[in-house]
Amino acid sequence: MSIRKQYDSDLEALKAALVEMGNNSAEAVEAALEALCTADADAAKSIVKGDSRINNMERDIEHRCMTLLLRQQPVAGDLRRISTAMKVVTDIERIGDHAADIAEIIPHLVTVRKEGDPAVSQAIAMGRKAYQMILDAMAALAAEDELAARQVIAADDAVDYDFNAIKHTLAQEIAANPAKVDAALDLLMVIKYLERIGDHAVNVAEWVQFVRSGRYKDESMF
């Protein structure tokens, strides 16, 4: 195999590893939402334990990136792809962290909020939107599809809207019954993590745009 073919193969393997890691983080978010929906504290504990796998994948991808940079000294489009991988892997790792953060709250949350709680149902619906954003962002990354990336960025408005709406509902809940403050704060943390998950999906989409155009929203980063 020629040096260039080996290099192209290594770049494709890097992208595949990144997408696999992204899908693992998305699965962790989906599992956290399911545990929240079913009030399954045991499933929540498994999500927390599983976060180490995503962290190991992050280290592997960072090693791949550094190896490519040192051995190949890439330029132009290839350099953008590797630089993007080094940035995206951080966002994907944080998505996994936030899934674990939500899972850590669930065992306590399910003891203070009744089954069928409207605010919990709203949070789950919000989370499913954020989850879909992750899937769409990873698909855009795999295809280097700038149009799909823009659609992910636009989808964040709905997640932000849900966050503010649920936050307002929780504030009203506390005002009506101050004894419910702990239950409200637990759910507030859940939706805050979900809102951040949406933000990280947006970051991935913005890096897709960088790969395609060579421009990023914050040029000072370079």
List the pLDDT tens digit at each of the 222 positions of the chain. 566 688 788 888 999 999 999 999 999 999 999 999 999 999 999 999 999 999 999 999 999 999 998 887 766 778 888 988 999 999 999 999 999 999 999 999 988 877 678 999 999 999 999 999 999 999 999 999 999 999 999 999 999 999 999 999 999 999 999 988 988 999 999 999 999 999 999 999 999 988 766 666 644 444
156 in any annotated domain: yes
Q: Confirm whether 39 is domain-assigned.
A: yes
* Within-domain flag for 222: no
Cα–Cα distance measured from residue 154 to residue 20, given in angstroms and rounded to the nearest whole number = 24
CATH of the domain at 183: 1.20.58.220
Is the residue at 129 inside a domain? yes
Domain membership flag for residue 219? no
Is residue 220 assigned to a domain? no
Q: Are residues 17 and 61 in contact, defined by beta-carbon separation less than 8 angstroms? A: yes
Q: Quick check: is 221 in a domain?
A: no
> From CA 92, how far away is CA 100, in angstroms rounded?
13
* DSSP code string of 118-163: HHHHHHHHHHHHHHHHHHHHHHHHHHT-HHHHHHHHHHHHHHHHHH
Distance CA 94, CA 89 (A): 9
Cβ(28)–Cβ(47) under 8 Å? yes
Q: Based on the structure, what is the number of domains in the chain?
A: 1
Distance (Å, rounded) from C-alpha 15 to C-alpha 9? 10
- Spatial separation of the C-alpha atoms in residues 199 and 145, rounded to whole Å: 19
Angle between helix 76-112 and helix 3-38 axes, rounded to 10 deg: 10
Residue 86 lies in a domain: yes
Contact in structure between 84 and 149 (CB atoms under 8 Å): no
Q: Which domain holds residue 54?
A: 3-214
pTM given for the model? 0.91
Give the integer Cα–Cα distance in Å for 7 and 159.
39
